[in-house]
Every structure is written in structure tokens, then in C-alpha cells.
Structure 1
Amino acid sequence: MKKVSVYDLRCEYKRNPLGMDVQIPRFFWKLSVEAQGAKQSAYRIQVSTHPYMDGAALLWDSGVVDTDQSVHVDYAGTALKPRTRYWYRVRVKLADGTESDWSETAYWETGLMSPQAWQAAWITAELPASPSLEEDPCHYVRTAFTLHENPVSARVYATAHGVYRLFLNGRDADDTRMAPGWTSYHKRLQYQSYDVTELLTEGSNALGVVLGNGWYSGNLAWTGGRSLYGKERGLLLELHVTYADGSEQCIFTDADGNWKASEGALRMSEIYHGETYDARQEAKGWAEPHFNDAAWTQVQRQAWSKDLLIAQENEPVRVIQELLPIRTLRTPKGETVLDLGQNMVGWMRFTVNEAPGTVIRLQHAEVLDKEGNFYTGNLRTAKQTVTYICHGEGEETFEPLFSFQGFRYVLVEGVSEDKLEGRFVGCVAHSDLEPAGSFETSDELLNQLWRNILWGQKGNFLDVPTDCPQRDERLGWTGDAQVFIRTSTFLMDVAPFFTKWLRDLAADQLKNGGVPFVIPFIPFNDQFTEDDSNHSSSAWGDAAVICPWTMYEVYGDVRLLKQQYPSMKAWVEYIHSRGDNEFLWNTGFHFGDWLALDGKDGSYIGQTPTDLIATAFYAHCADLLSRSAEALGYSDDAAAYRELHRNVVENFRKEFVSPNGRVIAPTQTAYVLALMFDLLEERHRERAAGILASLIEKNDCKLTTGFVGTPYLCPVLTRYGYNDLAYKLVLQKEYPSWLYSVTQGATTIWEHWDGIKPDGSFWSDNMNSYNHYAYGSVGEWLYRSAAGIDTLDGQPGYKRFRIAPQFGEQLNYVRASYESIYGTIRSSWEKNSDGSIDVEITVPANTEAVVVLPGHANQTVGSGTYRFECKLEDGNRLVGS
């Protein structure tokens, strides 16, 4: 008999989330079925306040709902209460009448649900003013309290101005880092929820918090900006303890004499510059109940608003893995350097046993110079240095608390080389996003490229999508995010990550609809106005439209699309108001085809005219906005923006295309954009694709594109029948190419095609990141074309999708998987000695795939695993299903 089970239950994309403020949460589940073509026909959900789902505690029973919907299913029970755990389970029926058992029970827990629910007050500490950046001590804040019995439940809700780390009775509250994360602090500030039941006990207890500058009041950007959101660190916290009889006790921040503050051993902590920790100044037991804090300072209460508080939206930052150094180097200058073997983001944890006052200094760098010496020139003003001063009382272990570094190499001072082995560990930290895909081919260099793309995402998805993780920047550049977002979805589950970031984008959007270059927004000078050049470049501000649409395409997230729609519309209307012709965008500052190789000497902007690029993206966003309006049922808007799109395309052709279909700018990027966004008349597209191919071939099969053209280059070639040329570009090893950096030993994606030149010299010191994911956008082509896993137009979320692998002459096999919200999709192909190609695909339950293979008629298949054989010379035949 066919067996079906329900697994991987999620609420708002998350497994058993704690502290959510979503009023109407959504449920997701997957089906496991031992048969092909399995499709859900009905579901039933039960929600209870008791894990055993007994009748007395049953809060909501959906009843049998006849639908195949298994994602984004809205809770429809009574209004949720704050600080409450809700348990839920699901059972389903298949189209053939087979029913599942109830799933295992999952839960979600609400947070405070409303800013007005907070009882705590903001507190700060007046400690001695910081004399310099080198001596800017973190705040240590504590309180002691008594519980009359062991609690059955205890929760802390906390946030900060700055970054904070929470301790109870001397122990970490949890394993997350860099809380509360980086948001548009003046408009949105996340708070975190902690289950601390097991950390508390009857009798005396203590809460301790370390406060650092973080993004809030520390250094940001290369202009030396500091305290851009505020100068004072602050803490807001409340602890709710529940006893067996249902009674509660609450401890919260207030200036009531119970909370005190002091300096401590952490003398300086900055995201760019690292940390200084003087272990001799440790106040041992400071977060424990019997610590004598008589000399500590009373805190002050602040009347800061709580109206902007929101529960944690994205996944927090955690240490995801650890790396041991692969070797210890002695450089030509005589420096001792650890090589982690991988350009990573995080920090070093180390254990030493040295004399009191011994100074241990770690500097972090991405590469060595051509002579093999430690190189930090590309960090600009970022110091990336950790200094630790030993207390000398036996073994002592340290890792940074509020800073992170981008590095492969660590220069160690203060520890002899014979004491390094096994005592230094690289802690890889990033937002805790679940892996989503795997990709492997017969070409090991291409496999390394895929790993480099993945490591680039790890390093730059640390709470916000940054451009680089090492120099004095690390900002949420909108252009980088939009060109990489589709690739990122294949590598990790990024739904909560981009949900949070897009809400910040909408919050920071200007009143006139313009979009800052970086989100969360920070001004690059003190004279920011809505008319200057700090916002609204084409291909950068377009993230306001492209990113929500991509989330809709990949996850079918109508709710997020609806939430972001006003922002999307405001951006298109902003563009509409800019040009001296309402259907062209030919004014303002634009980054153009950033870092394109066809630019003039000394210029970062390529040769493709910026107004051509801007108008192309204008058309693209008008098109996506009309599709979004249609998806949301806004028929009037859909019609209006379809007409706007038609007018922009018509004016693009008049302005930038000859009567015979030749684009006026003879650059690869100009032709790529015109073809990718369907800006040419259909009768001219084949010729234009041929011109693009000839531009590449005449350049020795090498690209010249920058940030704007590169993401679309291979997709356009494959679409117009030049798939072999796309493969040649991807597998090209000579500069400029994706594999050039791989042959130079890269383990992440570089900012520049020639970040390290063949002679070992560098492109420049000024702007030369070796972990910069924009060019990693080729990962989208690897999945959607080489492996052939793709969505279908107008059918978001992989409920019905396409598998159409594009075979490459240079490869013997490609194997890929993608964990969609319905389950695992697999696509692989492998060549046989007789010239045939075996294709194997897997379709998850409750979905179907349109399979497109050369020689086969297109066919739609339901769930299951299928095998095909393609004989390219004399037709193809199906060999198994």
C-alpha cells in the first residue's frame, strides 16, 4: 500500500521558532511518498497550547480543507497571545484517497507581540569618556535577583543600542552572535527571545550583559563616520519567569538601583578594527549572583522610544563551522603566519599559556603579496587586529565578542611557533541559513568555482548582504544584492534573510521614492539631501523591485510581494519622474557597468552608456511591477505599468537602436541588456545575439562585462542558441574569466577579474576585495542552464517547474540538487562512451516538472525519479521512468 508522511514542518519558514510577532503565521510542510505522481488533495491542521494536542487545549482545527496547498498556509484560529507556545501538527490526503498519519508535533512561540507590552525601560551607563579608538571599553551591565523555586519556564526578551551578549549565572544565554543585528535603527530595531529555563535555579541568580558599539555607534564606511545612529549604548531587557502554579515573576531593566555597570576586560571592540582584551582586568564572576558590585556605577533610565521594536525576523548569526590552519608559514620578512586554507569570515579562537602581561596580537589578511609576505593594503583603514593581554594564571582561551574579520592568513605575534599547533581555530560565522543546493561537474576547477561562490555568500551574508567582509566598508550595497540574489537562493534558504533586508530597504526609501546605495542606509557625508549622488543609481536602486520579485518567483511569497509593493511602485514612479523624457532615464548619477573591462584607464565605469543601462533597467522594473500587480490582483496598476513598459521599450529602441536593430553602443553589456530584457524587436533579436557572440569571439572568447552585464551574459547566450559559447566563457582559464582566479588559488570570488595579476602583483590597494560575490552570479546559470533547474514563468515557488539541462561539450557530467520549499529537486546528466547522455531527475511530492530534453517531446511528470537517454546524433529515446 502507498505510504505517505508529512515532514519538515515550518512556521514562517523556520523550524520551531521562538519569539515571533507575526499575527497570522504561515505553515509549510513537505510530503514523503513511496510512489510516483503523488499529489496532495486535502490537509488538516490542528493547533494547541499543549504538546499532546488533547481536546481541552485544542485552539484551532482547520477541518479537512480540500486543496493541494502545502506552503504559505495561513493560521486561521483565534487571536494569538503574547509569550505563548503553540503546538501544531498536520495530516494530508492524496488525490488517490491515501491518508497520512498525523505529523510529528512542531511549535512556534510568540514574543511580546506589541511595543506597548514592554515593561522594561531603556538604560545606559555613564562611564568615563573614551580617550581614543584604541581605548573605548565595552560596558558590562548586571543585576542579581532571587527566585523562590525552580521555574518551569523562563524567557528573556532583549535588545540594545549597539551589540550585546547575554549571560545568566555566568553562562551564555545561547549561541547566537552580533545581536540585535543591523537594521534601519531609527525605524526598526529587532529584539531577541531566549529560552533560559535551564540556566536559572531556585535562590540567587544573576543577569549579565556586555554592550559594544557594533554598527550602531562604531565606525562605519571609509569616510571615518562614527556614531551614525547614536552615541550612547543602551540596553532594554526583561526576564519573565513562570512557576509551576502559573504565577510569574518579572525582572526588567530600570534605574531602580538593581542594575549596575562598569568597564571590564574588553577595552575596545570595533567591527572593522578588531578587539583589545586585557585579561588582567577581568572581574571574575561578574555575571554570577554573589559578585560584589559595590564599586560599580548606577545606570540611568532613558526615554527612548520602544515603538520601533520588532521581533527577530531573520536567522541570527552563529559560528557555523570551524577550520584548523593547514600550515604555519615563515614569511620572507620573518613573520609567523597561519594559513587557514580558505578565505573566511569570522574570527580566531585561541588557547595560550603565557606569562602575565604577555601581549598576543593577531592581524588578519586575505592574501600574501608576490614575495609571500603578509599583505593588508587592501584593508584600507580597517585594522582587523585582535590584541589579547594575558592574565598569566594558566591556560586561557579567547575569541572576539563583537567584531569579525575577513581573512585566510593570520599573522601571530607574542606566541612562539612551537606553541601554535592545535591551539588556534578559525570560527566561521554568518547568518545561520540552511544549505539549499549542491552542484558538481566533471571539471574540478568548475567545482572549485562553485565552492568559491558558496564561500562568498557565507562571508557576505552576515546579517545583511554586504559587498565585502574585510575592508572599511562591509555595507549592504543594493546593486551587489540584486545581481546575486537568484544565485543565493540556490545555495541557501534566504527567505527570512531577504525578508528582513527588504523591509529595511522600504523603511530607508526616500519620500520621493529614491533608494539609497546601501541598506541599511548610512550617509557618506554630512550634507546628504534627496538631490545628491548618494542614492538611486540604476541597477542599484532597482533592488527595490528585482529582489521582492525574485523572492516571489522562488518562494511564492505573495505576502512579502504585497508588503513590498508600495516600495516597488515608489521606485518605478521615481524613475518615471527623473528623465527629460518620461520614458527615458537619462539624468542623475549612475555606477554604470561597474568595473567593466572596457572602461577608460582609471575609470571604474565601463563604456556602455549609463543612460542606456538606466533606461534598460527602467523597462525591466516596469515589466516586473506590472507582473507583480497582476499577481496581487491589482488590475488597474497591472494595465498601467504594462503600458509604461511598452512606452519605455519603444523609446529605448528610438534612442539606442538603429532601424536595422544594431545597438548604438558596441559593447557586450549593451547587447546583453537589450536581449535579456527583450528590448529589441523580435525580428532583430537573432542578429543582435550573433553580434554579441562575435564581440566575445573577437575578444579571444573572453568577456569585458562588469557588475551589470556579467549576471546576464551566459543566460542570454544559452537562450539564443550560443550555449557552447557560454560554456567556453565559464570554462575559460585565462584572464579575464571566472576560472582565472581559481587557477590563482582563489577560494572566494574576487571583486576584480584581475585582483591578482599573473605576475603576482595586485590590481590596486584602493578597492580590491578578494571576497566579493557579485561575479558569483554566474551560479544562477550553472543551476538554471547547466543543470536545468528553473521556475516556470507565471508559476512561482517550484510548485510547477522546469527541468531543461543544457549539455556542454567540455563536461562529462553535471549533478545538482536544490531543496525547494516542497522538497528536493535533482537533475543530473552524464555522457556515455557511445555518445549518448543519461539524464536523471527527481521531482518532489505535490509538484510537477516540465521536462525539456533534445529530441524528446516536452512532457510533464509528477513526483518521483525518472531516467532518460538522449542520443544526440539520431534522436532520443526514453529508457525508464
Structure 2
Amino acid sequence: MAPPRISKLTFGRNSSPIGIGQSRPTLSWRYEQDDSTEPNWTQKGYELSFSRSGGNPTTYQIDSGENIEIPWPKDEPPLSSRERVEVKIRAKGETGWTEWYRETVEAALLDESDWVASTIAPDVKPPSNLTKRPFYVQNTFTLDSVKGDGRIYATALGVYEISINGVTIGDHVLAPGWQSYKHRLHYQTYSIPEGVLVQGNNSIEVIVGEGWYSGRLTWLEVCRNLWGEEIGVMIQVEVGGKPVATSGNGWEWSYGALLASELYDGETYDVDIGKPNQWQATKTISLPTGTTLIAPEAPPIRRIEMLKPKERLTSPSRKTILDFGQNLVGWVKVHNVPAKAKMNECITLRFAEVLDKGELGVRPLRSAKATDKIFLGDQGLKEWEPKFTTHGFRYCEVTGPASLLDGYEDNFTAVVVHSDIQRIGDFECSHAMINQLHRNVVWGLKGNFVGLPTDCPQRDERLGWTGDLQAFAPTASFLYDTSGFLANWLHDLSEEQLKDNQGVVPLVVPNALKRSEEKPLPQAVWGDVCVITPKDLYLAYGSKEILREMWNSMTIWLDKGIPRGENGLWHNPRNGLDPRAPPDDPGAAMTDQYLVADAYLVAISITIAKIAETLGLQDEVKKYTDEHRRLRKAFQDEYLASSGRLSSDTQTAYCLAFQFELLDSSHLQGAAERLLRLVTRDNFRIATGFAGTPGILHALTQAGHLQVAYRMLQEKGCPSWLYPVTMQATTIWERWDSLLPDGSINPGEMTSFNHYALGAVANFLHTTVGGLRPLDPGYRKFIVQPRPGGTITNASVHTITPSGRAAVSWTLKDGVLKVQIEVPPNTTALLRLGREEESVGSGKHSREIKYRAEGVWPPPRYQTPFAVPELAGTDTLAE
């Protein structure tokens, strides 16, 4: 038997080792194994080798079992700007060493003095309240030699795309993304492909659009120029580590075929205008005061998938509509664009997520036009796609030449766009509708992880709502490697919270809702993201760094950001979405909002105490443990009867009480019985608000009602998770009834069909149905405990942990439960099957036991002492 193989070496949380922004990045490595791998393998030590240009390798041998966030050796010099170092790693177990694994890390521009480029813009006054037309900048530079690697360092106040000698550089879209521009501006490092640069004259051209920096954002009256009025770009081209072309004096600008390109409204392109030909001198503009240039750890936005139309439809008004079969985010690429046959002929593409009586359902887009136009020219185009917009859609209405529509299968492609985070997890089971639900969760994540975690990708919003991410982060981090993506967003959150808002976490990050210098109102659940999500990332990836980086954010929120009453509880919380709230007032929740806010307050106090212990901050451990004890007692005095009954007698209240361990042992039975009565009284349909929904199935399970949790999961009447599946949903909806049973769209404004928060239910699928959840941070030890229920007879789940692939699959037949598990090297699994418990090491294991499901299936319905037949409802169990 052989030791495992090291399959990946990462530097910090960077998705690529090229152009990292840290001089002393931490190192982490992952393993892979097969049937020939030594079982029960644990790391006893490792050897690191660093090879720098012109010097001998330096080697370090360390006796340690750690493989996550290993510090850069203290005797190894830090990386300098542009420096490349080959790093080799091998690890030893009981019987020998793994093979060497090699990776080259390259630093970006680490010092401000490395930048000699300036930010350039057109030498004209931009319009204040209108869209800004995209512009081009260009320059030529001469190379005596093309020896040495070519690099481009680039960023923009806006969004950009670069080409050299007619070749597009990089595969990023919408670069540099969206960030908190007052504090941090991302820049990208691009490798120039071999053969692009030539000896002699070279030309560089950059297209620049308004993007998030100054483009239209939100539905509010003042919605442009939120960070600045002038858009610009900064470019530094280097060969062999020396600048050869830098934006500044001598650059020129012009308009071209792009007439408009807006995030919400779409793009307009005129083929006849073609390439720019009237060039003028650019001017230099300044970055926002206080902005620091950052090489982000978050991966770039890229084109990820291509989908062809599934069907061509004709609407009642005789419009042609292409159905791509999947609600997605991106755009439509048009192939074989013909020449115009008459004056002002154009192709118009309009987008929507659903149909309304056979026509595009555009009302939920509110003021977003979601329309692309291509004015045809005397010459055709091989293909066209927009530069600086995205749409959330399944359906595309097309008007244009008949020849284009007749060949729709070949002439139109949907381009799926999102941040290029790595897929690491999945789930499948014997229940077809639950499988579709899980696919909807994945597609909802993809559509809303575009640069930062947004709440909806289609209407005039698309903001980084803090509460939505707080609910969904555990699910997201199981399915995708979100370590760099979410850490980057949390850093923006921390900057705005601490520097702009006196410790208060904004509702959205970046704070596009801010219209004055006043700090935002504190919001429970939403603001608590600064504590809960770093904890969730630590649990998923074992990263203590994110806890250190967010420590000030956490403690200031708890100590100063939350307004308190005399008893230490919340003074003026605002939160809540409820399935029974009217569409035009989603904040009208059933559960006492103070109770919800205070439950979260108790929870984050103990979370901070545990984080302090992890970071070795003993004084803070005592401080926040004592705080938690006081707050928990205050919560019980305020809201809890000795019987276990809560003052707000709702599903959400009991859900939070179980989830956050707010009950003493004497309260548990009464609270469990009360939760059971509420759920069965509501015919197993969801009656939790925004705060309670992610945890309701977990709470039922904790309360000893596993089969009731499965019954709620399998419910398909509205409101339920499977109701949208019955309505052919392919993503998670914002409202349980975004589409009404008759196929009409919910009358409220808040009616997105791609809104991931309610997809947090997938965490129950992964951890309880599949039976895989971390016990120690980073899955160094994890629990395998599938708990079959309902009509599900088999399931499989896996995720790639920081140490390698962990997987569980099980089948239940004739009272026999068969389980197969995979444990990655250097980890252990605690296997709990029925009443049996054992610890197993790495490798593949099979177990088989007699199994009797917990509880009765189907669980009995609510029984009332009064004769009210309508309470029985209709049986809508999804088998």
C-alpha cells in the first residue's frame, strides 16, 4: 500500500497562485487517495522546499499533523513584488513519504510605489444623471525584445476588458468586480500569452464601462454615481518585471460601437459604427480618497457554461421567445449576425425569468429594462455578446431578421456567468422532487454569486444583503469553495462597518443604500453576519485567519453596534420575513421581532466566546461567556414560561430556541410538544419567517420529531420547499408563492424567482439526510450519521474538505441500512449508526445494520378537540 498523493497546494485563500497579494501567505494542501492507498493514514510531519531565482533551495522539516494554514516559515524571506518562488511539499506518515508536489507562487504588486500607472479617463465632463457611454483607450509601445514573461496589472473605476495586438487578454468578465470603492479597489494580474507581444510596435486597447462604480444601482431616486461620477482605467504592462506601457500621458480615448452598457438595462451596440477612429487625449483622475489597491483572494467572474435553447415558443402577441430550460444569470450570445436589409434594422433581446400568460413576465424586474439591442450594419458579424451587463432569465424574447430566428438552435447561446468558485459538494437521493430542489439551490447560488453574494440577479436590486448570506453560508460552503469569495466580501463589510458606520453592519455590502453620512439603523439577523459567517467559514475550512481578521468587527458589533435596553437585550430590532406576510409588506412577521433579535443576540455572544477561546484570548473568553450567561437568563425571563412555552407561540420562536440552545432541560419536552403541535396544525407547511426557515427542520430533529421534519420537507402544498418544484421552478424563489397555483405572478413587488436564502434547507439534506457534517473545524474530524426518514430509501452526499474528499452513501431496504463512507487522509470520522458509534480512519468503509426509522411514517395529523374539519386540509405529501 502507498501513501496518499498531495493533489493541491494553495497559498492563503487565493484561487490562483499567480498575482497573490500577500508577502507571507499561509500554505494548505489537500490529499487524494484510491484503492491502493494506505488506510488510516495520518500525517506525522512534512517537508517544505523553497526555490528562488539565482539561489539554492531552502528546506524545512516540521513534525506536525497540520495541513491547513501552515505559516510561511519565519526564516524564509517574504515574497517581494513580482517575485516567483517554486514551493515543494511532501508529507510523511508511519511508513514513509508522499511524492513531492510542486507549485509556483507569484506575488502581485505589493507596494504602492510599484505602481507607475495613472488612472485615465476621457477629457470630457460625464453626464450626471444619465448612463455613461462605454469608451475605448489605446496606446502603442515598442519592445526591443520579447524575452521575459509578460504581465498586465489592471483595474478600473468601472469595468474593463483589455486586448493587445487584437488579442483579448484573460478570460475575466466584469473585472474588477464590485467592491467597497471608498476603501478597497481590486486589481487583476494577467499573464500575456506567448506570441501576443512582438518585437517592435505593439498596440493596447481597453474598453471601459460604468459598471457598479457609477452606474445605476437600486430602485431609489438617486441611484447613479454612488462612488464617483468619472469612470476610468489604470493599466500597467510589464515584460521581465519592467514596465513597458503604463496608462497616463500619451494615451488616447474614443467612443466606438458600444452605445450603452448598463447592468440593469442591458447593452446597445451599433455594428455600423465599428472600431473607434476619432481619438483624443485622455486626462488623469484620482482614485477615491482612502482607497487601497488590493489583489483580491476572491476568484474572478468568468463565463462558466453554455446552454442552447430547449424550445422556440410563439407568444399570444406573436413574439418569438426562446426557452433555455433553466433560470440562469449571464447573457445570450448571438451567432451569425446578418447584415441589415433595411434602415435601422436591429436585433432586440428581452429577458425574463418566467412567462405571464404566454408573454415575458417582466413586471418582477421593476424598472430594470433587461434589453439588449444590436443595430445591424452593412457587414454581418460572426458573433456578438455584451461586455458589461448581465441578465437573470430563462426566457429570451427575440425580434429580428427571420433568417436568424429560423436557425435559432445554432444562432443563440445562453452564457452562464458567475464567480469562478470551485464546485466541491453534491447531494442526491431516491426522491426526484427533492433532487430537483437541490439542483435549484445550486443554480440559485450560481446566479447570485457574481462578484459578491447578491439577493437577486434580475431586477433593479442585485445587492449584497447581509441577512441572506448569513442564512445560506453553510450550504454555499459545502457545495463550493467559498473561502476566498466570502472572506473578500467580509473584509468589505468590516471596512464599511468600522470606518463608515460606527460599528453598525450595513444591510447591504457594499452599502449602495447609503444616501447620507448617518450610520444605518442596526438590524438583528442581518448585522449578525459579521459573527456567524466567519464562524461558519472556520467550521467549513478550518481557517483561523478569518476569525482573526473579523475579530474587531464581531466584538464592536456586539459591544457597541447593537442598541441595548437595561436588561442587555435589544432595544429596537427590525427584522423578519414571513410566508404569511402580505406581498407588499414582507416585514409584517408573525413572531415577536424582539424575541428573534434577542435569540440571535444570545447566540452570537457564545459564538464570540468560543472564537476567543480558539484565538487564545482568555480574558475575552471570560468576558463573553459571562455575557452569554446573563443574556440567556434575560431571554428566559423575558420570553419563556416554566412549561417551555414561548411568549411568541410560533414555529420560528421554537426553532430559534432549539437552534441556539436557549432552553434548559426542564423546558425541552414542553417546547418540543408545542413545536410539534404548531407544525402539524399548519399541515406540515412552513410558517417560519426569514430567521426561522433555515433551522426549522434541524429544530424538529433536535426536538425528537425526525419524521415530522421529513414530512415538512416532502410537503408540496404552498408554502413549502417543493411547491415551487411542482410549478417547474429551476431556482429558489424569493417568496414561497412567487408563482401562484394558477400560473400568475405574485402581485407583490418582492417577487424574484432566483433568491438563494430559502435554499438553506440544503444544509439539512447534506447533514441529516446525507449524514455528513463537520465535528472539528475543517473536517479534521467529522460525523457520519445518516438518519433516513420519510419515503427516501437511498441518498449520497460528498464534499471536498481541506484534506480531501469525504463522502457518504446509504440504502435502506427491508429494515437493513447499508452505508458506504469515504474518509480523506489525515482525518477521522465518527460513525453513528443507530445506537452504535465508532471512530474510523481514512479510506473507504462499509457498514450494515438493522435499522428502524425514528418515529411513525407518515406522522399523524393535527387533532383538535373541536369539530373544525377545514383544519385537516388537503393531503399534499410528495411521495
Q: Does the pair score TM above 0.5?
A: yes
Structure 1 distance, partners of 2:323, 2:193, is 41
Structure 2 distance, partners of 1:378, 1:175, is 32
Q: Residues 185 and 292 of structure 2 are in contact (CA less than 8 Å); yes or no, is this contact kept in structure 1?
A: yes
Q: Residues 279 and 390 of structure 1 are in contact (CA less than 8 Å); yes or no, is this contact kept in structure 2?
A: yes
Q: Residues 150 and 200 of structure 1 are in contact (CA less than 8 Å); yes or no, is this contact kept in structure 2?
A: yes
Q: Flag the 1:759–1:197 CA change in 2: closer, same or farther, 3 A.
A: closer
Q: Residues 128 and 229 of structure 2 are in contact (CA less than 8 Å); yes or no, is this contact kept in structure 1?
A: no
Matched, 1:415 2:401: yes
How far does residue 307 in structure 1 lie from its aligned partner after superposition?
Answer: 5.4
Deviation string 1:785-839 (CA, Å, 9 cap, x unpaired) is: 11111111xx21101111111111311100111111111101111022x321101
- With structure 1 as the length reference, what TM-score do the two structures score? 0.93
Aligned match of 2:87: 88
Deviation string 1:139-174 (CA, Å, 9 cap, x unpaired) is: 100001111122321111111101111111111111
1:171 maps to which of 167, 170, 180: 167
AA at the equivalent of 2:333: R
Q: Residues 46 and 58 of structure 1 are in contact (CA less than 8 Å); yes or no, is this contact kept in structure 2?
A: no
Matched, 1:337 2:337: no
Structure 2 distance, partners of 1:82, 1:477, is 35
Q: Residues 595 and 752 of structure 1 are in contact (CA less than 8 Å); yes or no, is this contact kept in structure 2?
A: no
Structure 2 distance, partners of 1:8, 1:451, is 27
Aligned residues: 839
Matched, 1:259 2:251: yes
2:446 maps to which of 441, 454, 458: 458
Task: Give the alignment of 1:733-748 within 5 angstroms.
Answer: 733-748=716-731
Deviation string 1:355-399 (CA, Å, 9 cap, x unpaired) is: 164211100000001x22211000000011101111231344111
Deviation string 1:91-111 (CA, Å, 9 cap, x unpaired) is: 1110x23222222x2111100
Q: Residues 308 and 409 of structure 2 are in contact (CA less than 8 Å); yes or no, is this contact kept in structure 1?
A: no
Secondary structure of residue in 1 paired with 2:92: strand
Q: Residues 586 and 614 of structure 1 are in contact (CA less than 8 Å); yes or no, is this contact kept in structure 2?
A: no
Task: Give the alignment of 1:620-635 within 5 angstroms.
Answer: 620-635=603-618
Structure 2 distance, partners of 1:13, 1:313, is 6
How far does residue 542 in structure 1 lie from its aligned partner after superposition?
Answer: 0.5
Q: Residues 693 and 717 of structure 1 are in contact (CA less than 8 Å); yes or no, is this contact kept in structure 2?
A: yes
Structure 2 distance, partners of 1:598, 1:275, is 37
How far does residue 853 in structure 1 lie from its aligned partner after superposition?
Answer: 0.8
Q: Residues 156 and 194 of structure 1 are in contact (CA less than 8 Å); yes or no, is this contact kept in structure 2?
A: yes
Task: Give the alignment of 1:775-786 within 5 angstroms.
Answer: 775-786=758-769
Aligned match of 2:59: 61
How far does residue 772 in structure 1 lie from its aligned partner after superposition?
Answer: 0.3
Aligned match of 1:840: 820
Aligned match of 1:205: 202
Q: Residues 13 and 297 of structure 2 are in contact (CA less than 8 Å); yes or no, is this contact kept in structure 1?
A: no
Q: Residues 320 and 430 of structure 1 are in contact (CA less than 8 Å); yes or no, is this contact kept in structure 2?
A: yes
Matched, 1:610 2:606: no
Task: Give the alignment of 1:262-411 within 5 angstroms.
Answer: 262-283=254-275, 295-304=278-287, 308-351=292-335, 352-355=337-340, 357-369=344-356, 371-411=357-397
How far does residue 529 in structure 1 lie from its aligned partner after superposition?
Answer: 1.2
Secondary structure of residue in 1 paired with 2:110: coil
Q: Flag the 1:279–1:88 CA change in 2: closer, same or farther, 3 A.
A: same
Structure 2 distance, partners of 1:408, 1:873, is 43
Structure 2 distance, partners of 1:512, 1:149, is 54
Range that drifts further, 484-493 or 654-663: 654-663
Aligned Cα root-mean-square deviation (Å): 1.9
Deviation string 1:704-727 (CA, Å, 9 cap, x unpaired) is: 112111001011111221111111
Structure 2 distance, partners of 1:453, 1:487, is 9
Secondary structure of residue in 2 paired with 1:74: coil
Q: Flag the 1:493–1:602 CA change in 2: closer, same or farther, 3 A.
A: closer
How far does residue 465 in structure 1 lie from its aligned partner after superposition?
Answer: 0.3
Task: Give the alignment of 1:148-167 within 5 angstroms.
Answer: 148-167=144-163
Aligned match of 2:832: 852
Structure 2 distance, partners of 1:332, 1:236, is 50
Structure 2 distance, partners of 1:414, 1:315, is 37
Deviation string 1:748-784 (CA, Å, 9 cap, x unpaired) is: 0000001111111222251100000010000111111
Range that drifts further, 12-21 or 178-187: 12-21
Range that drifts further, 802-811 or 634-643: 802-811
Structure 2 distance, partners of 1:752, 1:386, is 28
Deviation string 1:334-375 (CA, Å, 9 cap, x unpaired) is: 110000000000000002213164211100000001x22211
AA at the equivalent of 1:871: K
How far does residue 303 in structure 1 lie from its aligned partner after superposition?
Answer: 3.9
AA at the equivalent of 1:866: H
Q: Residues 59 and 78 of structure 1 are in contact (CA less than 8 Å); yes or no, is this contact kept in structure 2?
A: no
Aligned match of 1:18: 18
Task: Give the alignment of 1:176-187 within 5 angstroms.
Answer: 176-187=172-183
AA at the equivalent of 2:722: L
Q: Flag the 1:32–1:759 CA change in 2: closer, same or farther, 3 A.
A: closer
Structure 2 distance, partners of 1:527, 1:643, is 37
Aligned match of 2:481: 493
Structure 2 distance, partners of 1:308, 1:220, is 23
Q: Residues 126 and 229 of structure 2 are in contact (CA less than 8 Å); yes or no, is this contact kept in structure 1?
A: no
AA at the equivalent of 1:764: P
Q: Flag the 1:425–1:596 CA change in 2: closer, same or farther, 3 A.
A: same
Structure 1 distance, partners of 2:99, 2:92, is 10
AA at the equivalent of 1:29: W
Q: Residues 751 and 775 of structure 1 are in contact (CA less than 8 Å); yes or no, is this contact kept in structure 2?
A: yes
AA at the equivalent of 1:230: G
AA at the equivalent of 1:118: W
How far does residue 745 in structure 1 lie from its aligned partner after superposition?
Answer: 0.3
Q: Residues 272 and 403 of structure 1 are in contact (CA less than 8 Å); yes or no, is this contact kept in structure 2?
A: yes
Aligned match of 1:42: 45
Aligned match of 2:627: 644
Task: Give the alignment of 1:395-544 within 5 angstroms.
Answer: 395-416=381-402, 417-509=405-497, 510-524=500-514, 526-527=515-516, 529-530=518-519, 534-544=520-530
How far does residue 61 in structure 1 lie from its aligned partner after superposition?
Answer: 1.7
**Uncovered stretches (5+) of structure 2, i.e. residues with no partner:** 855-879
1:250 maps to which of 240, 244, 264: 244
Secondary structure of residue in 1 paired with 2:27: strand
Structure 1 distance, partners of 2:187, 2:539, is 30
Aligned match of 2:857: none
AA at the equivalent of 1:84: E
**Uncovered stretches (5+) of structure 1, i.e. residues with no partner:** 51-55, 287-292, 876-881
Deviation string 1:627-674 (CA, Å, 9 cap, x unpaired) is: 111100111111101111111111111111123221011111011111
Structure 2 distance, partners of 1:186, 1:874, is 56
Aligned match of 1:587: 572
Secondary structure of residue in 2 paired with 1:470: coil
Give the fraction of aligned pairs with identical amino acids, expressed as a percent. Answer: 35
Q: Residues 599 and 607 of structure 1 are in contact (CA less than 8 Å); yes or no, is this contact kept in structure 2?
A: no
AA at the equivalent of 1:40: Q
How far does residue 249 in structure 1 lie from its aligned partner after superposition?
Answer: 4.7
Aligned match of 1:760: 743
Q: Flag the 1:3–1:648 CA change in 2: closer, same or farther, 3 A.
A: closer
Q: Flag the 1:529–1:159 CA change in 2: closer, same or farther, 3 A.
A: same
Aligned match of 2:662: 679
Q: Residues 598 and 705 of structure 1 are in contact (CA less than 8 Å); yes or no, is this contact kept in structure 2?
A: no
